Amino acid sequence: MLSDVTMGQFFPGKSVMHRLDPRIKMCLTVYFIVLIFCSKNFVTLGATILMSLLGVVLSKVPLKLYLKSMKPILFIVVFTGVLNLFYGTGDPIFTLGFIHITRNGIVNSIMIAVRIVVLILISSILTFTTSPTQLTDAIERLLKPLSVLHVPVHEFAMMMTIALRFVPTLLEETEKIMAAQKARGADMESGGLMQRIKALIPVLIPLFVSAFRRAFDLATAMESRCYHGGEGRTKMKVLHLSKDDYITLIVCVLYLAAFITANILLPAAIVR
C-alpha cells in the first residue's frame, strides 16, 4: 500500500504540461480545485472533469501512475460517499429503520466522491510534471510580495519542497523497515487494534532515527555548498512565460466565463 503513494514523485518528459511555466501550473491547480468545488450542477462538474482529463492526456504520463495515486484514497472516497448518502433533504426514496436515503443524498454523495477524485488527479498532474526545483522557484516567485512584510519566502519555499520531495523516500524507508521486521518474525497483521499499534513501535523508532539522520546529512550537504538562504542567490534558469502559457491562460479565462454562465443559468443538482 505504501508503494502506491505517488505524492511528490516527478515523471520526466517533454509534454505540453511539462513545458508550462511552474507558476502557471500551480495557479491552474488552485484554479481547478476551486472550480470543482464551486460546481452546482452536473454540466459544470462534467466539464471540469473533462478539462482535468485533458490535462492528464497532455501530460503524457502513463495512466497507471494516476490510477496508482488514486488507490490509497479509495477507502476515503467510498467512506465519504456512503456517509453523504444519509445527509440529503427532501422526500426519502428508501427507508430502513432510522436510515433515510433521498435523491439529494444520492446526488450529494456522487458529487462529493467525484470532487475528491478530481482533486487528487489535479494535484497528481502538478507533481508528475513539475520537478522539485521548479516547484521551489514557482513557490518563491508567487510568494515574493510577502517579502515586503519580512516573510522568509525562500526558506519557506525550500522547506515545503524538501518536505514534498522526501515523502516517497520515507515511504520507501518504511517499507524496508517493515519487511526487515517481518523477516525477524514480527507479526503486524493479526490481533486487535492495540496489538497492531504496539507492533508498529519497532517500525516507528528506526524510521524516526533514519529521518533525523537524513535531515542531518542534508543540512551538512547544504552547508558544505555554502548555502545560507536566498539572500544574494541567482537563478540558473530564469522563469519566463512562453506561447503555450499565454494560450493556456486564454483558454482558462474563456472556460471560467462559460463555467460562471452555466452555473448561473442551469439549475443546481441539489435542491435545497
Name the more confident of 95 and 215.
215
How many Cβ atoms are within 10 Å of 49's Cβ, its own excluded? 19
Q: Evaluate whether 26 touches 164 at the Cβ level (below 8 Å).
A: no
Q: Does the pLDDT at position 6 exceed 60?
A: no
Please state the rounded mean pLDDT for residues 122-145.
84
Q: What is the pLDDT of residue 178?
A: 82
Q: Does the pLDDT at position 138 exceed 80?
A: yes
The three cell numbers locating residue 182: 517481518
Q: What value, to the nearest 5°, has the Cα angle with vertex 77 and ends 71 and 80? A: 155
Q: Residue 251: which pLDDT band, with cuts at 50, 70 and 90?
A: very high
Q: What is the pLDDT of residue 257?
A: 93
Please state the rounded mean pLDDT for residues 176-195.
76
Beta-carbon contacts of residue 247 (< 8 Å; ≥ 6 apart): none
Q: Evaluate whether 140 touches 154 at the Cβ level (below 8 Å).
A: yes
Please state the rounded mean pLDDT for residues 50-70.
87
Q: Does the pLDDT at position 165 exceed 70?
A: yes
Query: Domain ranges in the chain?
Result: 1-130+241-272, 135-237
CB-count exposure of residue 221 (10 Å: 0-12, 13-18, 19+)? exposed
